[in-house]
């Protein structure tokens, strides 16, 4: 497993764990991001900027620190 921020751009992965507190898990759940969701990493910004992901028909940018806490299984 690797963290979302380490997943190469353009690659897909399935979320296996979210190692944040209840607030982070709840915030991601509202966005539709939870364990078992398959996502594609669209882009990342230089110097620890936001990470843009696509899942289903949605695209979302999340912070670098949030992305570090989302553990993925590459597909």
Per-domain residue ranges of the chain: 2-74
Report the predicted TM-score, pTM, of the whole model to 2 decimal places.
Answer: 0.90
Q: What is the mean pLDDT of residues 37-65?
A: 94
3-state SS class at 46: coil
Q: What is the mean pLDDT of residues 50-65?
A: 95
Give the CA dihedral 46, 10, 68, 37, nearest 10 degrees: 150
Superfamily, domain 2-74: Ferrous iron transport protein A (FeoA) (2.30.30.90)
Instruction: Provide the pLDDT for residue 7.
Output: 96
Q: Residues 4-19, buried b or exposed e (16+ Cβ, 10 A)? A: bbebeeeeebebeebe
pLDDT digits (tens, 9 = 90+) for 18-35: 998 999 999 999 999 999
């Amino acid at each position: 497993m690797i963290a979302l921020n380490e997943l190469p751009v353009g690659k897909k992965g399935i979320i296996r764990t979210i190692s944040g507190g209840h607030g982070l898990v709840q915030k991601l759940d509202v966005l539709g991001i939870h364990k078992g969701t398959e996502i594609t990493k669209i882009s990342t910004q230089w110097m620890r900027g936001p990470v843009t992901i696509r899942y289903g028909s949605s695209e979302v940018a999340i912070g670098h620190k949030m992305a570090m806490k989302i553990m993925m299984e590459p597909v």
